[in-house]
Amino acid sequence: MMSRHHRSSSICGGALIARATTILALCAIVSTAIFLPVAMAVDRTKFRTCQQTSFCRRHRHGKSKRLYDYKLVSESVQLHNVKDAVANAAASSAAVASEKRGLLSKFLGGYSSSETEQLEDPFVRGPPAIFTAKLVNVAPLTSTKLTAQTYGDGCDLSKMNFEEELKLSVHLHEDGVARIRIKEVMEEDSSVRSTPRWTSDELVLNEDEMVAVEEVQAISTNPAIQEKLDESESNNKMPTVEVKTTVSSLIKRANVDSASNNDDNFIVLTYGSNEEQWKLMIQIQPFAVYMFRGNEEDGPPIIAAGTNGLTHFEVRRSKECSTTTTSTVNQIEDKTMNDAAADTNEDVDRHGGKEVVGYWEDGLAIYADGSREERKEVAEEEDEVDKGEGREERRLEEEEFDTKDMWEEKFGDHIDSKPYGPMSVGMELTFPSSTHLFGLPEHASSTQLKTTAGMDGHHYYKEPYRLYNLDVFEYELDETMALYGHIPLVVSQSVKTGTAGAFWFNPTETFVDIEETPQAGGDMDSRTHFMSESGIVDLFLLPGSDPASLYGQYARLTGRMQLPPIFSLGYHQCRWNYRDEADVYFVHSKFEELDYPYDVLWLDIEHTDGKRYFTWDDKTFPNPIEMQNKLGATGRRMVTIIDPHIKRDNQYYIHKEATARGLYVKDKSGKKDYDGWCWPGSSSYLDFTVEKVRNWWADQFNYDKYKGSTPTLFTWNDMNEPSVFNGPEVSMQKDLLNLNNVEHREWHNLYGMLFQRSTAEGLTQRNEGANVRPFVLSRSFFAGSQRYGAIWTGDNAAKWSHLQIASPMLLGLNVAALSFVGADVGGFFGNCDAELITRWMQAAAYQPFFRGHAHHDSKRREPWMFGDETMVRLRHAAMARYALLPFWYTIFWQAGVSGMPVMRTMWMQYPDIPELYSIDDQYLIGSDLLVKPVTSAGATTSHVLFPLADCWYDVDTMQRVELAGAPGSYVAKTVESGIDKIPVYQRGGSIIPRKLRLRRSSYLMINDPYTIYIALDNELKAEGTLYMDDETTFDHEKRDDYGVATFSSDLSSSIIVQNTVTLGNKSALQESKEERMIERIVLMGIATEPKQITLTTLSSATAIPMEFHYDEESKILVIRKPDVSALDQWTMNLTP
């Protein structure tokens, strides 16, 4: 259930109206409205564009470029002693660890930086700074001087200091990651810069795995700088001749602009090991950074930052200067009061004196007389339209710099007070010799990022990609508009420079332009321009050099995906709403009757008592424990929805206690609890940025508090952007304050993730020993959300276009290492026919999160609602999913260990085939299954691109696909894909486990035997993995209670299959060895029938003959009932 239109029971149940007659009138209006036809289109007037956002408008296309020219101050350069810094950090880490919070701490980290750095910046975490220096803005006209000229009436500008100083710190990780951190220099006598800006290291970064380098070599041809660098004992000195050669070579490779091309203008940091090294070249003026892989002798840098002069940092400043007279201050205060009074009068006039009793989710008022506010159409001003011209065409003269909305900004009827004035930061990043960038989810667009700027005004999108978590009702496709969650990670894939990435660690509202620029040699570079409303410049450069390396680096940076309980990988059945217990029992019994596998049945918001979360409607769900137990007896779980908005009802225990404890987000004064409007009506929002609030929320899931809950009940977190119907852009005002007086603008994009995290902790700690894995689905997310549960793509529609966009969107999320993701089967809005639901079910069966869901106005669409023939097709798709659960579970485990995504773009597995880079209508599950969903009505064939580095087998026929071509290329082949067929192929050289016995839930499959499918490659070899544990608890981590079977085949050595077992501990899973049996082995691609197959084990030296069947025509060999366990080591040999 997401942004829902026309919700009668929500409004009626939530409106706080004194007169009963008014309630009846309002409910009558709303109840009638739900039957009106609704057009599918996003209301664009609710959401801002770049031109309607002052910081984006101010800095896009280089419009503010001449206000910023940063120079590194040579005298401030300092290379810190690496070993001392690491030792100090380790001691600090131990202190923090003793105060570790939360049951999921192993996923959260706790590594703090050095004591000195903590004093200067208490929010920083992770490896300490290795290199520091001061940056100064030496532009003739700076931003602070410009604003003083504009706003500083009565100021004597000649007596004011407009120097803008920043502190640069460089943090180098042992895996090659380089952190470039730029913040304000604090000033004790400053009212606005006496404290550091708030950052969220502790809430996002995986500090335990962020390990500092132990050695660094710092060089410069500038003697004064080199002398400063050599003051550090940790600097590995280089002979002067080599210094000159090294610096000159890197400058040449970076193709530095001739104006900056002076050897003395650079500092080079070399770090790593003998096996792998990296170089970071820092340009002194204008400040820029270049990253190279140290073992490469030529070629361009892999990433460059700040090379086009678009770095900006709007330091905090006072609107009134120090020489302002008392009368001027009074005038300013009087103006502020008058403006506030005018705003109040405008609001009264807007409603014509009518009593407001509620709001629709479009932000329009509902009146006590039952009428509804009408939207005012606002004409778009011509000068506000961004035509999207190239940067050079958009240069402004000095007197035309944009200074609007710096201390106050209005959108619609909402005013952002912006008490600290302009605080934006930004920087451009260049990926040389690369034209393929990915990431920046979530957007309803292609997986590859498309251009939004440059190319003489000719680019794909007019608007930059926007990263600001929002509840976007009926979102449109092929757009850069913000959606529910965002991750500011960009990944570049190039044949010339390999895989590289950049994580822009900033949770404030952010816009990102994408541009392609030509190189002198004919190559194209890709450039991104990040512009954030606030925060600091905190940039992590990820050097790769291949997809596996990059995702390992990112996992160490933001955390690893938690292995989910296996039931959550099955099929989930949901609807807004299953009406009552009888409806639940009917749906459940129908799945049972049809032998249709499913694992989870979901309840939407109507199951509660008047939208009060952690409660049940005692009329429709009077016996929730009995209901859960009945479904649990067949291995099924249930999920209930719990949103972050809390109904403001003093009789509601959650609200009463949260109010008494002071746990809510505050208004901009910091004195009153914020009051917004959502499904329950008047609502408040808990402050999940604060630990005590998260802990309190987690406690609410205890069985003695969440009455009617059982161990088989799990949670769905929705509306957690957060969604506020009467707020700006359907969210909270940016100038609201958390409990530490930090503005909402600073932590907005973190809110949904922290809500999901706290819920996951609650589901964990409610059980004795905190040893049962949680399952939480969230709509909103940020970097690090992979640690806490699943994500889905929100309110999609029952349209072929939404089925088509599902794969690109899910791949985009996986690019950002968010793997446990899915799109609602059939689409949330509207009605789908038998063909669309069939194709959607087939596709979703091969996507990580597998849930069917529908709006309450949609027709019922349980699998049996489309007739018997369609039901059989849908059941076949679900059965294919359940048969592959051992494979899915193994891939999820591998993703947690390696960081590699579960659902992979083609380039992740085949980075040497550039023609596959932009492909997003087919993908890989792990490395071994190639999937091509059918997403067009009436399709009977599909166009599949097969990489020729491997051979491929159809998973239905087990026949090898006939392909011809060079091994390093690919072949496009048209294949049959009638209504009963989704093209899926097993990679030659892989071994995949399945369970083939039809069961109605994953719980009933736990003791079922495996069938092993071996697909031989061109050299008659194959290998694969099967991961095993109890599928439910944390014993695989707490007790190392797990086993890994590694299967391998090599017919050239007469080995049909060999099993090598790795156990987490010596006794791991030994009691269940007999429950991990293999009942069948299927070998594909064997050219001739063997004379004999024998089995040898560790416990028996005697070779045991095996029964087998060989089909000459299909080239398939089947070994039946080998009577071996996946937890034992054994070998099967053939006699040719």
| Nearest alpha carbon to residue 18 among 30, 10, 26, 6 | 26
Distance CA 1135, CA 16 (A): 82
| Nearest alpha carbon to residue 1061 among 990, 1130, 977, 968 | 1130
Burial of 773 (0-12, 13-18, 19+ CB in 10 A): buried
Q: Which long-range contacts (C-beta less than 8 Å, at least 24 apart) are formed by 765-771?
A: 765/103, 765/698, 765/699, 765/701, 765/702, 766/701, 766/702, 766/703, 766/706, 766/709, 766/711, 767/711, 770/103, 770/1034, 771/1033, 771/1034, 771/1035, 771/1038
| Nearest alpha carbon to residue 848 among 575, 571, 510 | 571
**What are phi and psi for residue 97, nearest 5 degrees?**
-60, -30
Under a CB-based contact definition with an 8 Å cutoff, are residues 109 and 150 in contact?
no
* Active-site entry in 208, 471, 718, 824: 718
Distance CA 240, CA 645 (A): 64
Q: What is the DSSP letter of 290?
A: E
Under a CB-based contact definition with an 8 Å cutoff, are residues 531 and 175 in contact?
no
Please report which helix (H) or strand (E) contains residue 95, including its range: helix 82-97
* Active-site entry in 117, 463, 604, 721: 721
Rg (C-alpha) for the chain, rounded Å, is 30
Distance CA 601, CA 577 (A): 11
What DSSP line would sit under 369-437, residue for residue?
TS-BPPPPP-PPPGGG------TGGG---GGG---TTSS-EEETTEEE--TT----EEEEEEETT---E
- Cα angle 1130, 1131, 1136; round to 5: 165
Structure tokens belonging to residue 787 = 């640690």
Q: Does 718 participate in catalysis according to the annotation?
A: yes
Under a CB-based contact definition with an 8 Å cutoff, are residues 793 and 853 in contact?
no
Structure tokens belonging to residue 173 = 């990780």
**What are phi and psi for residue 1054, nearest 5 degrees?**
65, 25
DSSP bridge partners of 647: 683
Query: Could you give the 3-state DSSP secondary structure of residue 278?
Result: strand
Query: In sequence order, which residues have a C-beta less than 8 Å from that of residue 532 and are 6 or more positions away?
Result: 55, 424, 425, 426, 504, 506, 508, 509, 510
* Active-site entry in 208, 795, 950, 1041: 795
- Cα angle 506, 511, 515; round to 5: 115
Under a CB-based contact definition with an 8 Å cutoff, are residues 170 and 287 in contact?
no
| Nearest alpha carbon to residue 426 among 482, 457, 464, 395 | 464
Distance CA 161, CA 137 (A): 12
Distance CA 1073, CA 909 (A): 34
Q: What is the DSSP letter of 198?
A: P
Q: What is the DSSP letter of 242?
A: H
Distance CA 784, CA 104 (A): 13
Query: In sequence order, which residues have a C-beta less than 8 Å from that of residue 492 and are 6 or more positions away?
Result: 302, 303, 431, 434, 436, 437, 438, 499, 500, 501, 526
Under a CB-based contact definition with an 8 Å cutoff, are residues 957 and 981 in contact?
no
Q: Does 721 participate in catalysis according to the annotation?
A: yes
Under a CB-based contact definition with an 8 Å cutoff, are residues 752 and 778 in contact?
yes
End-to-end CA distance of the chain: 60
Distance CA 285, CA 288 (A): 8
Q: Please identify every residue annotated as catalytic.
A: 718, 721, 795
